[in-house]
């Protein structure tokens, strides 16, 4: 096991950690509020939340009425 390849690997790990350590972080309370707001603002456009009528349901065959 070459010593210098260990050093190269370690240096890469250090470089990656430096990158990750350097980012700006937003408060969880703010992040959570934004996620919540997105859900609530888009709720009406979410068919799985609001439900849909048979005539709008693409997976349900429309009942056909015929005059006898």
Partner 1 sequence: MAAEKAEIDALKKECDGLRTKIEAARKAVNDSTMTDAAGGVDTVGRVQLKLRKTLKGHLAKIYAMHWAADSRQMVSASQDGKLLIWDTFTGNKLIAVPLKSAWVMSVAFAPSGNLVASGGLDNICTVYNIKSASPKTLRELDAHTGYLSCCRFLSDSEILTASGDTTCCLWDLETGKQKIIFTNHIGDCMSLALSPDGNTFISGACDSLAKLWDLREGTCKQTFSGHTSDINAISFFPSGNAVITGSDDCSCKMYDLRADQEVTGYQDTSLNAGVTSLALSNSGRLIFAGYDDFNCHIWDTLKGEKVGVLSGHDNRVSCTGVPEDGMGVCTGSWDSFLKLWN
The answer to whether 55 contacts partner 1 (rule: CB under 8 A) is no
Which of 1, 55, 58, 66 touches partner 1 (CB under 8 A)?
58
Interface with partner 1, residue 40, by CB under 8 A: yes
Which residues, including other chains, have CB under 8 Å from residue 60's CB and lie 6 or more apart? 54
| Measured distance CA(61)–CA(54) in Å, rounded | 8
Tokens of 44: 């009406």
5-24 residues in contact with partner 1 (CB under 8 A) are 6-7, 10-11, 13-14, 16-21, 23
Q: Counting beta carbons within 10 angstroms of the beta carbon of residue 44, is it exposed (0 to 12), middle (13 to 18) or buried (19 or more)? A: exposed
Residues that bind partner 1 (CB under 8 A): 3-4, 6-7, 10-11, 13-14, 16-21, 23, 25-36, 38-43, 45-49, 52, 57-60
């Amino acid at each position: 096991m070459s010593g210098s390849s260990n050093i190269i690997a370690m240096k890469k790990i250090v470089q990656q950690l430096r990158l990750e350590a350097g980012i700006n972080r937003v408060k969880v309370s703010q992040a959570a509020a934004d996620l919540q707001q997105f859900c609530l603002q888009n709720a009406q456009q979410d068919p799985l939340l609001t439900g849909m009528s048979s005539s709008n349901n693409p997976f349900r065959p429309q009942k056909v009425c015929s005059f006898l």
